[in-house]
């Protein structure tokens, strides 16, 4: 039985084109319009009519490219994934993972809609740029000797941390060091919090700088520690 367009990957429908006039635009051109609209106005700005107007065509003609909003989001996620750089793998899992996830965090800052968009894109609709990201992350993690299941689970956990942290930052999350805020010390004076009091009484705990960058990297390190024996560092490092 030949699959319908809705059950076939968006990227594999070239062998099963819909009837009608020949397409006038590429998928990348459609994606570019969608990304520009969402960057400027959010995902709510996306509609077939709005996209078609920007392309200079009729809204109905877009259904020769996509089946609906989920397809549009898949196009958009794949489109912005082209912004990644892929440095050569070093053999140090931490370095190689940080190199990609630092970029992923920056990608979320440039495209605030991306967090929601990724939540709608399933593996069936991963495009070639998204597949290249997945491939590079797999290359980074398999250096630790993980099997396929552990590797894919690790990529999912690490990418999920980026999405979650992007959501926190979009909501205004800030992690100042203890030296930059007197709220907690003042609260300690009005209650019984023995563990916090003892912890913050040490000079090191009270003065260690903490900011969003440090929290982001600490989250990655904690995940790697759980995913990979030794936290991903080669033996002897």
Task: Please say whether the beta carbons of 188 and 196 come within 8 A.
Answer: yes
Domain boundaries, given as residue ranges, for the chain: 20-79, 81-175+226-232, 178-207
Q: Provide the token pair at 82.
A: 């082209």
CATH number of 20-79: 1.10.10.60
Residue ranges for the chain with pLDDT beneath 70: 1-8, 14-23, 123-124, 176-181, 203-209, 230-237
Task: Please say whether the beta carbons of 137 and 100 come within 8 A.
Answer: yes
CA–CA separation, 215 vs 232, rounded Å?
18
Per residue in 178-234, pLDDT (tens digit) is 555 677 778 888 888 888 888 777 755 445 567 899 999 999 999 999 998 765 554
Alpha helices in the chain (DSSP H): 27-41, 48-55, 69-81, 93-110, 114-120, 128-142, 148-170, 183-188, 194-201, 203-207, 212-227
pTM: 0.82
């Amino acid at each position: 039985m030949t699959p319908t367009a809705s059950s076939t990957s968006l990227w594999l429908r070239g062998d099963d084109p819909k009837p009608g006039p020949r397409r006038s635009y590429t998928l990348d051109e459609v994606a570019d319009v969608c990304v520009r609209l969402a960057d400027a106005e959010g995902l709510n700005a996306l509609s077939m009519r709005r996209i078609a107007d920007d392309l200079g065509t009729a809204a109905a003609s877009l259904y020769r490219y996509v089946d609906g909003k989920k397809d549009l989001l898949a196009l958009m996620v794949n489109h912005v994934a082209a912004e990644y750089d892929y440095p050569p793998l070093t053999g140090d899992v931490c370095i190689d993972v940080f190199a990609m996830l630092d970029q992923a965090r920056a990608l979320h800052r440039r495209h605030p809609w991306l967090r929601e968009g990724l939540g709608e894109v399933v593996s069936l609709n991963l495009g070639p740029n998204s597949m290249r990201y997945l491939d590079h992350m797999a290359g980074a993690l398999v250096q630790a000797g993980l099997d396929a299941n552990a590797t894919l689970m690790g990529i999912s956990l690490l990418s999920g941390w980026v999405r979650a942290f992007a959501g926190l930052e979009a909501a205004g999350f800030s992690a100042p060091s203890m030296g930059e805020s007197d709220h907690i010390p003042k609260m300690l004076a009005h209650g019984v919090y023995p563990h916090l009091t003892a912890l913050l009484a040490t000079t090191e705990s009270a003065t260690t700088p903490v900011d969003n960058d440090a929290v982001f990297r600490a989250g990655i390190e904690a995940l790697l520690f759980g995913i990979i024996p030794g936290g991903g560092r080669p033996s002897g490092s």
